Structure 1
Amino acid sequence: MTRPIRVIQWATGSMGRACLRAVIDDPRFDLVGLFVYGAGKARRDAGEIARRDPTGVIATRAIEDILALDADVVVHCPMLSDPYDGHDADVRRLLESGKSVISINNYFEPRALGADYAAGLSDSALKGGATLAGTGVNPGWVAERMAANAVSLCLSHRNVATREIIDCTTVPNPEYVFGALGFGADPKVIDLVDGPLARTFDRMFAQSVEGLAQRIGLTLDGYESDHELRLARQDLTVAAGVIPQGSVAATTWRVHGLSAGVRRLTHEVNWIMDPTDPAFAGKPHWQIEVDGLPGLKIAMDLVDTAPEGVRTKPEQFAVAAMVLDAIPRVVAAPPGLLRL
């Protein structure tokens, strides 16, 4: 009988906990380690953090404890960092220790961030005989898989656009909501060209654009972006706190892929705190539009089918599903960078 794949869970925010529960619940996997950032989670059993039975795996805040473990793969789910590559040092140490890494925030298409950047990550993976990959629903699925499949229905295409609207009203972490996502900020302090949020999402979503281009055989010669803010029409009380009137209540991060100087691919992500805003109300979670022959439009929504009392959101289940699907493929892949 084949032994279970040995998994380390890294971080237990809302997405990380969903992945942790999925790993614990799946007999294909054996949870052998848990890294946490918060002092209140350290030295607690993983089962307690995941609202599951005890596992015997005790959470640690020390990367040295994680590096010493014998494991096949690390499911890497930290909060977005500023700068975007702020987690690279940890990831490279994990790879060099012989552990493959699956990220939900980065490493989808590292070559989109520069050949030297990708080469450095590849060197660490090869040194440890490990594999590095990124997966999720966006990046990782809507453009790279769904839009790529949609294009196969068209004899030709001028532009392929993917758009997502994410309702963030139930996200509970104030540090994430008011820091990493920029909600509640004075719009005057948000630099949409070269500010930290713009740099983060430029680098994240350029990977979605490049991933789509690779899958449909389109060679890109660059990327450009145009981002937007929308302001709160009144004070908004959400799970993480209050979004004051006149402060940032929605951000639109839009990255284009250029071929011969023309925008051929567009990837747009809208993070929102007011679902009644006419710009977003009634619109699907995802939309794909192909301007081609023939033209094509696809609208998709996630549906909440969780049992009563389960607080996990559909998008959290979806990310966990993508991660679990990726684990066996990453473990079986040759060392280096893997496009899932």
Structure 2
Amino acid sequence: MGRTCLQAVIDSPRHELVGLFVYGERKAGKDAGEIARRDPVGITATRDVEAILALDADVVIHAARLDPPADRHDADIERLLRSGKNVISINGGTYPAHWAPERRARLQAAAEAGGTSFMGAGLNPGFAAEKLAVLATGVCRDVRKVSLSETVDCRPVKNPDYVFDVIGFGAPVDRIDPNSPDWVPARTMNALFEEVVACVADRLGWQEIEVVTDHSLTATPVPLEIAAGRIEPGGAARIDWRWIARTGATDRVELHIAWTMETPEPDAPEPGLWSIRVEGEPCVSIAFGVETPAGWQERVSAEMLGVAGAVLNAMPHVIAAPPGVVETPEFAPWRAG
């Protein structure tokens, strides 16, 4: 995802790349254009944080791979904010009001010290629920529940550390409680998505909510050979994540994300397709997806393009925002060209 954001900045006539931090030694010392599969741009990738802090930049796109714990990069983000750089993260951060108070206070203090702002941006989290699902209620005179469902075909993902350790595929279904905070993938994903349903509930006026989970694992009965390796029989080949915001005993907002390594059933939603359902007066149903343009030749998915687009469009907002931790805007920003 970092490469796609880098490509978006290099390709944009409205933005200028001034620096690039990389986490791997293999990329350090290379021209950013080479890393982005573009012509050289005269910017050398570095693993020196101090060099990045010394740059004069309006915004830093923080696109590190999601790894547990969810706040592992907070110290770096705080330093960036204190150095006078606004920060946009692709790993959550869309609804800071739901964070632990001490975490929000740390980032708020860093932003105020640097006169900068921090905000999250992306597709999900960032757009599908917090913006589009909320927008769908605009024709309802009464809203009882909002649901968002997403199906992700994970078979092409090649990184074994990410597939097995971060996401949780291959976990022994008979020995894992996916709703236990002791399971690292659940703890990581909860930190990313609990704030999403809390945000939707707040924007629709539901107060005193409780966020609960109803995650489940489905085992494969046969060995599965996948791009990242092998899932043995009894290992998780499908993970259904569910986060529910409740008021009392009433479910108000539900986010369901199905990650699968199985061959989809004929009647299953197309991978990458989001479905929104509003129960109310009237009920509203929306199905949407993203596609690459006709003739697209890049090795970049439509979903990656969407995340990069959301990040670039968020830049004017985070730059103009007052210092602090900023909630992703309800509808804007958007622009053409």
User: Could you tell me whether the CA contact under 8 Å between 1:72 and 1:331 is conserved in 2?
Assistant: yes
Structure-2-length-normalised TM-score: 0.91
User: Could you tell me whether the CA contact under 8 Å between 2:152 and 2:272 is conserved in 1?
Assistant: no
Residue 115 of structure 1, CA deviation: 2.7
Residue 288 of structure 1, CA deviation: 0.7
Query: Partner of 1:266 in structure 2?
Result: 254
Structure 1 residues 327, 242: CA separation in 2 closer, same or farther (over 3 Å shift)? same
1:296 aligns with 2:284: yes
Structure 2 letter corresponding to 1:230? T
Structure 1 letter corresponding to 2:306? A
1:218 aligns with 2:214: no
Structure 1 letter corresponding to 2:203? R
Structure 2 letter corresponding to 1:317? L
1:236 aligns with 2:230: no
1:37 aligns with 2:23: yes
**In structure 2, C-alpha distance between the alignment counterparts of 1:263 and 1:117, rounded to whole Å:** 28
**In structure 2, C-alpha distance between the alignment counterparts of 1:198 and 1:38, rounded to whole Å:** 26
Pick from 227, 243, 247 the counterpart of residue 255 of structure 1. Answer: 243
Identity among equivalent positions (%) equals 44
Greater Cα offset, 147-156 or 130-139: 147-156
**In structure 1, C-alpha distance between the alignment counterparts of 2:111 and 2:214, rounded to whole Å:** 34
Structure 2 letter corresponding to 1:185? A
Query: Partner of 1:205 in structure 2?
Result: 193
Q: Report how many aligned residue pairs link the two structures.
A: 326
Structure 1 residues 259, 179: CA separation in 2 closer, same or farther (over 3 Å shift)? same
Aligned CA RMSD, in angstroms, stands at 1.9
**Partner deviation per Cα, 1:60-101 (whole Å, 9 max, x = no partner):** 112112111111111011111211111111111111111111
User: Could you tell me whether the CA contact under 8 Å between 2:30 and 2:45 is conserved in 1?
Assistant: yes
**Partner deviation per Cα, 1:92-130 (whole Å, 9 max, x = no partner):** 111111111100102111221233322221111111111
Structure 1 residues 250, 280: CA separation in 2 closer, same or farther (over 3 Å shift)? farther
**In structure 2, C-alpha distance between the alignment counterparts of 1:176 and 1:284, rounded to whole Å:** 19
Query: Partner of 1:128 in structure 2?
Result: 114
Residue 301 of structure 1, CA deviation: 2.2
Q: What residue ranges of structure 1 are gaps of 5+ in the alignment?
A: 1-14
Query: Partner of 1:174 in structure 2?
Result: 160
**In structure 1, C-alpha distance between the alignment counterparts of 2:271 and 2:44, rounded to whole Å:** 43
Pick from 327, 330, 334 the counterpart of residue 339 of structure 1. Answer: 327
1:75 aligns with 2:89: no
* Secondary structure of 1:144's aligned partner: helix
**In structure 2, C-alpha distance between the alignment counterparts of 1:307 and 1:233, rounded to whole Å:** 39
**In structure 1, C-alpha distance between the alignment counterparts of 2:75 and 2:155, rounded to whole Å:** 32
Structure 1 residues 41, 197: CA separation in 2 closer, same or farther (over 3 Å shift)? same
* Secondary structure of 2:72's aligned partner: helix
* Secondary structure of 1:29's aligned partner: coil
User: Could you tell me whether the CA contact under 8 Å between 2:123 and 2:306 is conserved in 1?
Assistant: yes
**In structure 1, C-alpha distance between the alignment counterparts of 2:327 and 2:272, rounded to whole Å:** 27
Pick from 308, 322, 331 the counterpart of residue 320 of structure 1. Answer: 308
Pick from 185, 196, 210 the counterpart of residue 184 of structure 2. Answer: 196
Residue 245 of structure 1, CA deviation: 3.3
**In structure 1, C-alpha distance between the alignment counterparts of 2:90 and 2:271, rounded to whole Å:** 25
**In structure 1, C-alpha distance between the alignment counterparts of 2:227 and 2:294, rounded to whole Å:** 20
1:305 aligns with 2:283: no
User: Could you tell me whether the CA contact under 8 Å between 2:82 and 2:114 is conserved in 1?
Assistant: yes
Structure 1 residues 301, 258: CA separation in 2 closer, same or farther (over 3 Å shift)? same
* Secondary structure of 1:32's aligned partner: coil
Greater Cα offset, 321-330 or 299-308: 299-308
**In structure 2, C-alpha distance between the alignment counterparts of 1:280 and 1:77, rounded to whole Å:** 31
Residue 249 of structure 1, CA deviation: 1.3
User: Could you tell me whether the CA contact under 8 Å between 1:131 and 1:333 is conserved in 2?
Assistant: yes
Greater Cα offset, 73-82 or 165-174: 165-174
User: Could you tell me whether the CA contact under 8 Å between 2:272 and 2:303 is conserved in 1?
Assistant: no
Residue 279 of structure 1, CA deviation: 8.5
Residue 306 of structure 1, CA deviation: 5.8
User: Could you tell me whether the CA contact under 8 Å between 2:78 and 2:111 is conserved in 1?
Assistant: yes
